Structure 1
Amino acid sequence: MLELMICSLVTILPDYLYRRYRQGKRFGKEITFFSVWYELRWGITGCLMLTIGLITMIFYFHPSTTSAAIYFRTVPILPEGSGRVAEVNVGFTADVKKGDVLFRLDSSKQDAALETAKRKIAEVEASLISARTDIAKADAQIGEARASHQQAKDELEVKTELQRRNPGIVPQRDIEKLQVLVDQRQAGIDVATAARESSLLRVSTLLPAERASAEAAQAQAQVDVDKTYVRAGVDGRVEQFLVRTGDVVNQLMRPAGVLIPDGAGRRSVQAGFGQIEAQVMKPGMVAEATCISKPWTIIPLVVTSVQDFIAAGQFRTGELLIDPQNLQRPGSILVFLEPLYKGGLEGVTPGSACIVNAYTSNHDIISDPKTGALKGVALHAVDATGLVHALLLRIQALLLPIKTLVLSGH
């Protein structure tokens, strides 16, 4: 309607003035309700054509969309395992900090496994003390065996010397018995030494390995115990937390609630523009928005990113061939917009629906000396029509609460 009124000022109005004051025709006489079309046919035709062209130019170079919202990320609250809830530390909704315990599962089984691992470590420590005692015992046995060996060796040497000096004074049988005794005592030394080496091996290698395994089992058991405590992964606010003591939860069931991180939905607006505007939407474009949760307010924005893919065209590999006819909706171009000024989204509830206008600016092209005069005038006209769209957005912002509260029928 606004475009039609503007276009009529340069088409129908001059046509009427020409016929009224140049041709002398009067409204209500020659120009009647029935003769309007014939008398003002050139003005009406020009007005309609100019209106259609103006609307096309405005909506193409200054795109608008009502498919805009302030999306925010949520974190589902789920345990890493499954079990029965033993303790709940937050209510239906609450502010939490990173690391706060939200609820705890029953940990009887995990506690028993942890206690078993601790007992195993104590058992290994006791075995280590016993092995050190065995080393001391083996040292004593080696000393005893060496003393006995030395005694038998000395006696053998004495009798051997006597036999050498006075052959026949010592029976050969006695010397052979002493030799056997010396060998026997040497074997005792070897046995005691082997026992000591075995104890040393247990102390230096076997028992430390068993202790490391037991400590690893304890660490694993401690991890299992810690998994029974479901904590907040980030600072934020818990919403719709319905889990209560006695409930059985697991990862296959619906989440216990959602955690909304701090700052979620406070940084940017996401809007979907038509595919025909793919060549117009560029990062750096100035935009404006009005959101239903903050009526009668225009929020200055700037386009920070334009998604290069249209979600409607994505597919997953399956057993069926793709039929483009099944693509019911053409999809839109996802655009990310951030406030032009700090705190621009304050007071806007995350998730709020918004109306967004983006404006094409050709200032750099117009300022370029290489740009011709005719092209510069055309680009000036394109930029100037953004004022019409800005005015339309403000009218929408003015009427949005009335439309929502009065005319929606609720």
Structure 2
Amino acid sequence: MDILIELTYAAIVFVAFKVFKIPVTKWTVTTAVVGGIFVVGGIFLCMAYYHPYTPEARIYFQTTPIVPQVHGKTIAVHVQPNTPLKAGDRLFTIDPTPFQAKVDDLTARLNLAERRLKESQTLAKASAGSRYDVEQYQQEVGSLKSELEKARFDLNSTTVLAPTDGWVTQLRLRPGMMAVPLPLRPVMTFVHAESPMLVAAFKQNPLQNIKPGFKSEVIFPAIPGRAFKGVVTKVQAALAEGQLQPSGDLLSVSTEVPEGRVPVFISVTDDMSAFNLPLGSAAAASVYSDRMEPLALIRQVLLRMVSWRNIICFEAI
């Protein structure tokens, strides 16, 4: 597009010299060249400020690392990779034998303690027993009930369920593997069936011309030759480069701190159901402000030219 604008300006200058018989001198030629630099440069500078573009955009999605609440050997995996699941569907099962044994043991001990409690209460009423025995058995019954509740919870936790609607991707868990309740050792990754987020990272310079409600267009390397309409839904209110966490260190301002790009959330309004676009795909986006609207046409043409360029894909051999 920049070449097209430069050629258009050159054609106008050529016609001006030929039709209007402007004499070719060092002053007229210099004026035409310098004027072209200012005109073409001004167009692109204003377009970049009022209708910004970024090649750094991506489809983001929410995932949950699945970590079991109990330790044990996996005996069954009930899901297949990338298969839709409903909330509450079984994901995998840990061997429940030791947990069931714990429940049975505590149940038997609780039954005995409750029987002993009733007997001690009967003896106490008949003044044939000690009040101390009654209180001791009451404490034992309460403690066993708490332990039994925890044991039943662990037993129920041997079957891990889907937290929401979604699917499991990159399933590597197999029967016989040990499942450990450690946050750093998830056994699978669960992808939630929620609307993905398209986030574009813009430079901070044109930020005043990016506001919720402004029109946008998005292109994907995976879909060359197409530009999809969208709208800006949110501009991130805080940047990671400026966050402070509780610590004993004092704030140090350095010139080496990078200038963070601003995440801008864009909702694509065009129907994209006919395209195979994996979550996490890269994208490029432009936002059209309500100022200098005629320059938006140039940005739209440039965006489509970049989209058509995506059809060229060579891999080095």
Which TM-score band applies after superposition, normalised by the shorter structure?
Answer: 0.7 to 0.9
Deviation at 1:102, TM superposition (A): 2.0
Paired position in structure 2 for 1:369: none
- Per-residue Cα deviation, 1:211-265 (whole angstroms, up to 9, x for no partner): 4433222111111222332222112111112122232232155321211011352
Structure 2: distance between partners of 1:324 and 1:197:
75
Note the residue ranges of structure 2 that are not aligned, 5 or more in a row: none
Q: Residue 265 of structure 2: which of 317, 321, 336 is its match?
A: 336
- Deviation of 1:4 after TM superposition, in Å, equals 5.2
Structure 1 match to 2:127: 194
Please give the per-residue CA displacement for 1:309-355, whole angstroms capped at 9, x wherever unaligned. 2223335455666352332x4220110111235x4566332211111
CA spacing shift, 1:197–1:223, aligned 2, 3 Å = same
Secondary structure class of the residue paired with 2:302 = helix
2:263 paired with 1:263: no
The structure richer in strand per residue is 2
| Aligned residue among 399, 402, 405 for 2:309 | 399
- Residue 298 of structure 2 corresponds to residue 298 of structure 1: no
Letter of the 2:15 partner, please give it. L
Cα drift, residue 196 of structure 1: 8.1
Task: Please give the secondary structure, in 2, of the residue aligned with 1:385.
Answer: helix
Structure with bigger gyration radius:
1
Paired amino acid for 1:261: H
Please, which runs of 5 or more residues in structure 1 have no aligned partner? 26-30, 139-192, 363-381
> How high is the TM-score relative to the length of structure 2?
0.85
- One-letter code of the match for 2:103? L
Q: In the alignment, is the contact (CA less than 8 A) between 1:12 and 1:44 conserved in 2?
A: no
Do residues 247 (structure 1) and 157 (structure 2) align?
Answer: no
Counterpart amino acid of 2:94? Answer: L
Q: Which residue of 2 is the match for residue 226 of structure 1?
A: 156
TM-score normalized by structure 1? 0.67
Task: Show the counterpart of 1:68.
Answer: 57
Q: More displaced, 222-231 or 344-353?
A: 344-353
Instruction: Work out which of the residue numbers 83, 88, 91 in structure 2 matches 1:102.
Output: 91
1:19-38 equivalences in 2 (<5 Å)? 19-23=17-21
Partner of 1:372: none
Which among 232, 240, 243 is matched to residue 311 of structure 1?
A: 240
- Which secondary structure does the structure 2 equivalent of 1:325 belong to? coil
Do the aligned partners of 2:56 and 2:284 also contact (CA within 8 Å) in 1?
A: yes
Question: Could you tell me the percent identity over the aligned residues?
Answer: 24
Q: 1:94 to 1:127 in 2, by over 3 A?
A: same
CA distance in 2, matches of 1:129, 1:104: 39
Greater shift after overlay, 91-100 or 116-125? 91-100
> Partners of 1:258 and 1:17 in 2: how far apart?
65
What does 1:201-220 align with in structure 2 at a 5 Å threshold? 202=134, 210-220=140-150
Given that 1:80 and 1:227 are in contact with CA atoms closer than 8 Å, whether structure 2 keeps it comes out as yes
- 2:297 aligned residue (387, 393, 402): 387
Residue 376 (structure 1) aligns with: none
SS of match in other structure, 2:194: coil
| Aligned position for 1:275 | 204
Hey, what does 1:112 align to over in structure 2? 101
Is the Cα contact below 8 Å between 1:12 and 1:40 reproduced in 2?
no
Task: Return the offset for 1:6.
Answer: 3.3
- Give 3-state SS (helix, strand or coil) of 1:69's partner: strand
Alignment partner, residue 143 of structure 1:
none
The Cα offsets for residues 104-145 of structure 1, whole Å up to 9 and x where unpaired, read as: 23344322321121002221343355457758xx8xxxxxxx
Contact 1:4 1:47 in 2 (8 A): no
Preserved contact between residue 62 and residue 194 of structure 2 (Cα < 8 Å): no
Q: Does 1:44 align with 2:33?
A: yes
Matching residue's letter, 1:220: K
Q: How many residues align?
A: 314
Name which of 42, 47, 66 aligns with 1:53.
42
Judged with a 3 Å threshold, the aligned counterparts in structure 2 of structure 1 residues 209 and 292 are, in CA distance, closer, same or farther, namely same
Is the Cα contact below 8 Å between 1:291 and 1:353 reproduced in 2? yes
Which of the pair is proportionally richer in helix? Answer: 1
Letter in 1 for 2:204: Q
Q: Kindly tell me: are residues 51 and 4 of structure 1, through their superposed partners in 2, closer, same or farther at Cα, counting changes over 3 Å?
A: farther
Alpha-carbon distance between aligned partners in 2 of 1:40 and 1:24, rounded to the nearest angstrom: 10
* AA aligned opposite 2:265: F
- The answer as to whether partners of 2:53 and 2:284 remain within 8 angstroms in 1 is yes
C-alpha distance in structure 1 between counterparts of 2:10 and 2:195, whole Å = 52
Q: Is 1:237 equivalent to 2:162 in the alignment?
A: no
| 1: CA distance, partners of 2:191 / 2:14 | 63
User: Does the CA contact (< 8 Å) of 1:79 and 1:249 recur in 2?
Assistant: yes
What is the Cα-based RMSD across aligned positions, in Å? Answer: 3.1
Distance 1:254 1:134 in 2: 55
Range with greater deviation from structure 2 (393-402 or 104-113): 104-113
SS at match of 1:388: helix
- Structure 2 distance, partners of 1:129, 1:315, is 60
